[in-house]
Amino acid sequence: MTDELFARVSAQFVDAHQRVRALDVSNDEKARATRRLLAISDASKHDLGRAAKRLEAFLTDLDKGRIAAADASGA
CA-nearest of 3, 5, 41, 6 to 20 is 41
12 versus 74: the higher-pLDDT residue is: 12
Tens digits of per-residue pLDDT, 13-65?
999 999 999 999 999 999 999 999 999 999 999 999 999 999 999 999 999 98
pLDDT above 50 (res 72): no
pLDDT band at 73 (very low <50, low <70, confident <90, very high): very low
Predicted local confidence at residue 74, as pLDDT:
45
Q: Is 51 left (phi over 0), alpha (psi -120 to 50) or beta?
A: alpha
**CA–CA dist 5, 1 (Å, integer):** 6
Structural contact between residues 1 and 36, judged by C-beta atoms closer than 8 angstroms: no
**Separation between Cα atoms, residue 34 and residue 13, nearest integer Å:** 12
29-43 confidence digits (pLDDT tens)? 999 999 999 999 999
Amino acid at 62: L
